Structure 1
Amino acid sequence: MTTAAEKKGGPKSLAAGRPPILQRPKTISRSATKALINKHHLLQKRKRQTIAKGDKAEEAAIDAEIEALGGIQSYQEASLQGQRRDRGGDSSRVLMQWLEPCLSSLSTEGSGHRLRMLEVGALSTHNACSKSDRFDIVRIDLNSQEEGILQQDFMERPLPRDESERFDIISLSLVLNYVPEPKGRGEMLRRTTQFLRNAGRYIGDPQLSANFPSLFLVLPAPCVTNSRYLDEETLAAMMESLGCVKVASKTSQRLVYYLWRRGRVCKGAGVSFSKKEVRTGPTRNNFAVVLS
């Protein structure tokens, strides 16, 4: 069911949907972290409903509950904890496993031989991509926690003026699911294509042209495997409409990983994807992506 907030039009900033979680010592258990995340998801959902109704008093009360749980900084600390190997690890390790065969032929002598990456929602400058010395990385996040990460909302980042400001690859790891509205998620996916370089630049290297320019997308597995409105087929059709084809994918118990390569032709220009039910059943979640 479409909320009143969704009917109002344009996508909201990423900051409107990214939930914080409770600040705890770095040894907080996985189960406790999950419970806190679920609590914040519930509060954020209630807040969006309250905003739609225009109930300022209730909105203030919910804000106070969220603040009592710690704020976005605490959320990021928990996210960093989640990158430990015993918590599922750094998602960019999967990306490096996929790309290593084609990256191994690249020279590492000088920055001119490295590929350009935009990491949206960056939490650390020490992940697998950073350590590989294969990329010049621009890292952005809503609330930077480390030097080397620019505090910026991707949806408000100025569009590239020319090819030199575009990227060979963009990482959206556990970012799209925090955008508060389905339409905003679709706009985020569309916007990534505006930041990717022209596919023709790799034509002289078959290995690179098979993998770049590309989008690395990571989502909680239930967003695709158990959603009422999104499945693998729908996501693939949506990405194809943006001119992207799937290069690689992986599904774990907790996450789904994708590498989408942008082609030279947008095959589905003009195609739209509404919030349409693709699965039935009372246990399904309501994660959706709307692409106008």
Structure 2
Amino acid sequence: MNSKKKGPPKNLAAGRPPVLHRAKSISRTATKALINKHHLLQKRKRQAIAKGDKAEEAAIDAEIEALGGLERYQEASLQGQRHDRGGDSSRVLMQWLGTTLSSHKSESGRCLRMLEVGALSTQNACSKSGHFDIERIDLNSQGEGILEQDFMERPLPRDESERFDIISLSLVLNFVPEPKDRGEMLRRTTQFLRVPGRYIDSPRLAANFPSLFLVLPAPCVTNSRYLDEERLAAIMKTLGYALVESKTTQRLVYYLWRRVRVCKGPGPAFPKREIRSGSTRNNFAVVLS
């Protein structure tokens, strides 16, 4: 394991699991336990670095090594990513939009522009549908057709031609380390979407676009101390979004948010505030400053 010490994470890559293309088979229970333990150790390590506690940092590095080091964590991360992602989440999006997209394609012959953040494959349901012109990015590109890029460092669109009809943010927000950075990621999506009202000549498109497809592990919303669906909806409303579709399964929550207005000012703040108590709750939060 590389023992070089680094400062506090400055970009989203610090919160995402690394990629290893040939993962060994790990049981689901062991995968979850190892990933959770590693994330806890990484959080403690960031705190130790922030305090300048070299002894604590070295002790945490030793714990990580005892777990099998980076190689073992990479194996668990890739395996866990499969479980967490619940297969191809874009199938749900296609179920919601299939009829609308088919009508649009037959009438205009044009594809809609999609930005897929955290793309894993070029062969998912959206890619195969033929309805989207897709630009795919990921922090750790896993293949041709996926640009290695941090969404938070992506250059802003210069004009409307560089904006998108829809952004896919599937199991990306939960890998962002800090709550305030999650809020900023959601805020930043609005800068890459087309302006509301563009689809005035197509009522079906206007009912669904421009939009954000957001997927999270279900416990982030259903079992968090700091976030529930009501608070998430309030945050999204502040950013100019309205809920179009939603679906909750045992593992995942899926949302389609339509951008309905352009926000002129910063809007109300959403600090980290406990809304549900209990020892079994998790600490997932989204903060808007």
User: Which whole-Å deviations, capped at 9, do the CAs of 1:79-128 have from their partners, x for residues lacking one?
Assistant: 56448xxx832111111111112111122799x71011111111111111
The residue aligned with 2:6 is: none
Match of 2:71, SS? coil
The equivalent position to 1:35 in structure 2, one of 33, 36, 58, is 33
The equivalent position to 1:212 in structure 2, one of 209, 213, 227, is 209
Question: Any gaps of 5 or more consecutive residues in structure 2?
Answer: 1-8
The equivalent position to 1:263 in structure 2, one of 260, 268, 271, is 260
Provide the C-alpha distance between the structure 2 equivalents of 1:267 and 1:43, rounded to a whole number of angstroms: 40
Q: Please give the TM-score of this superposition, normalised by the length of structure 1.
A: 0.86
Letter in 2 for 1:78: Q
The residue aligned with 1:45 is: 43
After TM superposition, the structure 1 stretch with the greater mean CA deviation from structure 2, 234-243 or 28-37, is 28-37
Q: 1:23 to 1:196 in 2, by over 3 A?
A: closer
Residue 233 (str. 1) matches residue 239 (str. 2): no
Residue 132 (str. 1) matches residue 129 (str. 2): yes
Provide the C-alpha distance between the structure 1 equivalents of 2:73 and 2:162, rounded to a whole number of angstroms: 29
Q: 1:63 to 1:217 in 2, by over 3 A?
A: farther
The residue aligned with 2:16 is: 18
The residue aligned with 1:145 is: 142
* 8 Å CA contact retained: 2:167, 2:213: yes
Provide the C-alpha distance between the structure 2 equivalents of 1:62 and 1:138, rounded to a whole number of angstroms: 39
* 8 Å CA contact retained: 1:120, 1:140: yes
The equivalent position to 2:189 in structure 1, one of 192, 197, 203, is 192
Provide the C-alpha distance between the structure 2 equivalents of 1:246 and 1:207, rounded to a whole number of angstroms: 15
Provide the C-alpha distance between the structure 2 equivalents of 1:74 and 1:28, rounded to a whole number of angstroms: 8
Number of equivalences = 279
Provide the C-alpha distance between the structure 1 equivalents of 2:56 and 2:106, rounded to a whole number of angstroms: 55
* 8 Å CA contact retained: 1:20, 1:71: no
Deviation at 1:197, TM superposition (A): 0.6
Question: Any gaps of 5 or more consecutive residues in structure 1?
Answer: 1-10
Q: 1:40 to 1:22 in 2, by over 3 A?
A: farther
Provide the C-alpha distance between the structure 2 equivalents of 1:27 and 1:134, rounded to a whole number of angstroms: 35
Deviation at 1:19, TM superposition (A): 3.1
Q: 1:133 to 1:26 in 2, by over 3 A?
A: farther
Provide the C-alpha distance between the structure 2 equivalents of 1:157 and 1:75, rounded to a whole number of angstroms: 29
Deviation at 1:30, TM superposition (A): 2.6
After TM superposition, the structure 1 stretch with the greater mean CA deviation from structure 2, 225-234 or 39-48, is 39-48
Letter in 1 for 2:53: D
The residue aligned with 1:248 is: 245
Match of 1:277, SS? coil
After TM superposition, the structure 1 stretch with the greater mean CA deviation from structure 2, 281-290 or 101-110, is 101-110
Q: CA RMSD in A?
A: 2.8
Q: Spell out the pairing of 1:113-192 with structure 2 (5 A cutoff).
A: 113-192=110-189
Identity %: 77
